[in-house]
Amino acid sequence: MEMLVSEGSQIAIAALLGAFHGLNPAMGWLFAVFLAVQKDDWRVLIYAIIPIGMGQMLGDGAVVLLQTIARFQFPLHIVHLSIASIVLGYGVYRLFRYFRHVKWTGGLKVGYGQLLLWSFLAASTHGSGLLLSPFILGADHIADILPLYLFHELAMLTSMTVVAFIVYHIGMMKIRKYIVNFDLIWAVLLIVVGLILFLMNVNMGGEMPGHMH
Amino acid sequence: MAKWVGTDPTFYPSAKSAMEAPREKLGYVALLQPDALGVIDLDPDSETYGQLIHQLLLPGEEEDELHHFGWNACSSALCPTAFHPTLERRYLILPGIRSSRIYIVDTQPDPKRPRIVRTIEPEEIKERTGYSRLHTVHCGPDGIFISALGSGDGDGGPGGILVLDHFNFNVLGAWEMDRGPQHFSYDFWWHIAHDVTVTSEWATPDLFENGLQLDALLQRKYGHKMHFFDSRSRKHLTEIDFGDQHQMVLELRPAHNPKKTYGFVSVVTDVTNLASSIWTWYQENGKWDVKKIIEIPAQPAEPDQLPPALKDVGAVPPLVTDIVLSLDDRYLYVPCWGTGELRQYDVSDPFNAKLTGKVEIGGIVNQKAHPNGKKITGGPQMVELSRDGKRLYFSNSLYSSWDDQFYPEGIKGAVVKVDILAEGGMEIDPDFLIQLEKGRAHQIRLDGGDCSTDTFCYP
């Protein structure tokens, strides 16, 4: 639990999770590459990643915001148990349905608005915002959460952009065998985080570190 | 077991990359009378090369009539909004065109001995989709798409497209939200990067199931249009009428390069002169249009050489009923089932096709033998091309009741291999001929995919 207490390591973990999230082809870079190769123009990568990034930030942001409001508006013990159950439950659900995702009916010939909407749906249903729940529940002030969120998103955008450029240049053909099963890994991560939340609850006797002092 | 790393090695981002795929080792072929899925050995290093090595007999008591079939998944699983890294090209989806039953056949663990893992009964298809008489299968983005020629009740229309879930094969329902004036159905495919789905028109079951109806044909009652749908809203956008003398608009072969907005479509017969034709459909200034690029004339013949169905017309129609486009969008292969020819056209310029090769085999009047000396009944019909574009395989039966009209002496099922020469032209491989003891052969599918199985999202 020690690592969860230090602010620096919290930010590092949030950023790592964000970077990992950005590597997932289903979260945006593949769409950006697709659009860029249709036009045969690398600049399209940038034009696409802007709305995709915004969609991701809004999607994650919505999930983080909901948790933050709950954390500071309602009794912590109940919120903690509820979020733990949601995270674990969603993880178990994803474990059996990891291969499915939001069915997108907006097509492939998309504008900025649709790209933003697609990205928002992909991010919010993916549960990456839920992975930040231990930090949100452990935070003393709302202000503590903001840097976590920002570094998470910044790392996500960075890894997404870097991968998009690499794949645009070397081609999908060369990297298809290195694509890991992100969806299954996310399901496992959600379950692990859900279990950590329950353990935190037991260890702290229902109280969070932030409430000890 | 769930896969942790890598996508199916037979999924390729682009048609260009798929051309580098390893050579096919096995082929699957739809057999009828009796209905079976045949496995043919295409590995030249194998002892059983060029032989039918297995037949999976279907339990449908001969009411199925196998025709076309396809894979559960293909390169479209690499598309960005329908990215499915865990899907595998593993199951063959086998519809019975007559029964409307679907067999889900697993090609694992032994691809030489596929086995039925699920059967979807006609009642379920009809009830859930309102369709019957299933035809083309495409592994699409986010599902398995199957065209249907008839409505759920009776022998009429409309036909359309239905969708199966590509993970559990459940029947999801009819695809169209608004079919507009579309009534006849046959083939379909899409310009995936442009969100456009195209469909073509053969006829409703009452017009084809008991044979070609010559009266109806002369009255121009078969399909003569193609349709464009918005793939997102699944609504009809527009139709193109080829003119009602152009009867039966069949195979649709959009350019494999997703940037392109053109494709090739075959028309069986022009009732004014019995010619078959190939047309290019294309988009210009946002509007879709078609242009005839190839016309293959009928060949005059003496009445005593002709089957009863053709006695009065005194000619053999080419009856082009399948086409295939190489993955580089360069060569279009056109089998003429009536006249017994296979033609190769260079369509690098899609509006200016150049005949670059021709082989003759079978045919109603020609009856040209295989180069190994054996007699071939029927003519080149279903064609399939290897991904590298170097080998073409074809079978010789069209559709049971139509076979009997044009080849009344009967058709003995065969699979023939044609070698494609590097700079155009082709030769029938004299050392390769699969002839069935019993039954007929229709569509051929190559393991790992071929030139009419996959949709590519990247140019």
Could you tell me if residue B9 is inside a domain? no
Whole-number pLDDT of residue A4: 54
Q: Which residues of A touch B283 (CB under 8 A)?
A: none
Domain region containing B305:
15-446
pLDDT band at A204 (very low <50, low <70, confident <90, very high): low
Whole-number pLDDT of residue A5: 63
Instruction: Note the pLDDT tens digit of each residue in A5-48.
Output: 688 899 999 999 999 999 999 999 999 999 999 999 999 999 99
Give the Cα separation of A76 and A71 in Å (integer): 6
Inter-chain residue contact A178 with B6, CB threshold 8 Å:
yes
Could you tell me if residue B451 is inside a domain? no
Residue segments in chain B with a per-residue pLDDT below the cut of 50: 1
Inter-chain residue contact A176 with B87, CB threshold 8 Å:
no
Instruction: Note the pLDDT tens digit of each residue in A46-69.
Output: 999 999 999 999 999 999 999 999
Could you tell me if residue A174 is inside a domain? yes
**B170 in contact with A at a CB cutoff of 8 Å?**
no
User: At which residue do the structure tokens 């017009």 appear?
Assistant: B207
A17 CA to chain B: closest CA distance, Å?
18
Reading the block at residue B89, the tokens are 């090209």
Give the Cα separation of A139 and A149 in Å (integer): 12
Instruction: Note the pLDDT tens digit of each residue in B269-309.
Output: 999 999 999 999 999 999 999 999 999 999 999 999 999 99
Inter-chain residue contact A184 with B4, CB threshold 8 Å:
yes
Mean pLDDT of chain B: 97
The yes-or-no verdict on residue A207 having pLDDT over 60 is no
Could you tell me if residue A84 is inside a domain? no
Give the nearest partner residue to A37 out of B79, B231, B458, using CB atoms: B458
B303 CA to chain A: closest CA distance, Å?
54
Return the closest-CA partner of residue A131 out of A56, A206, A194. A194
Q: How buried is residue B22: exposed, middle or buried, by Cβ count under 10 Å (0-12/13-18/19+)?
A: exposed
Inter-chain residue contact B13 with A172, CB threshold 8 Å:
yes
Could you tell me if residue A189 is inside a domain? no
Q: How buried is residue A169: exposed, middle or buried, by Cβ count under 10 Å (0-12/13-18/19+)?
A: exposed
Residue/partner pairs of B241-248 with CB below 8 Å, 24 or more apart: B242/B267, B242/B279, B242/B290, B244/B220, B245/B220, B245/B270, B245/B271, B245/B272, B246/B270, B246/B277, B247/B217, B247/B220, B247/B222, B247/B223, B247/B271, B248/B201, B248/B202, B248/B203, B248/B222, B248/B223, B248/B224
Q: Which residues of A touch B142 (CB under 8 A)?
A: 103-104
CATH classification of the domain holding B94: 2.130.10.10
**What's the domain count of chain B?**
1
Could you tell me if residue A159 is inside a domain? yes
Most B CBs within 10 Å: which of A173, A179, A189, as the mutation test of the B interface? A173
Task: Give the amino acid at B353.
Answer: A
Q: Which residues of B touch A106 (CB under 8 A)?
A: 81, 232
Could you tell me if residue A67 is inside a domain? yes
Inter-chain residue contact B86 with A183, CB threshold 8 Å:
yes
**What's the domain count of chain A?**
1
Could you tell me if residue B1 is inside a domain? no
Half-sphere exposure (CA, 13 Å, Cβ side) for B331?
Answer: 29
A199 CA to chain B: closest CA distance, Å?
28
Inter-chain residue contact B192 with A178, CB threshold 8 Å:
no
The yes-or-no verdict on residue A109 having pLDDT over 70 is yes
pLDDT band at A102 (very low <50, low <70, confident <90, very high): confident
Neighbours of B242 (CB within 10 A): 22
**A23 in contact with B at a CB cutoff of 8 Å?**
no
A31 CA to chain B: closest CA distance, Å?
5
The yes-or-no verdict on residue A211 having pLDDT over 50 is no
Could you tell me if residue A207 is inside a domain? no
Could you tell me if residue B59 is inside a domain? yes
Instruction: Note the pLDDT tens digit of each residue in B201-249.
Output: 999 999 999 999 999 999 999 999 999 999 999 999 999 999 999 999 9
The yes-or-no verdict on residue A81 having pLDDT over 50 is yes
**A51 in contact with B at a CB cutoff of 8 Å?**
no
Could you tell me if residue A97 is inside a domain? no
Give Cα B445 to chain centroid, integer Å.
10
Domain region containing A48:
2-75+104-180
**A102 in contact with B at a CB cutoff of 8 Å?**
no
pLDDT band at A205 (very low <50, low <70, confident <90, very high): low
Rounded to two decimals, the ipTM of the complex is 0.94
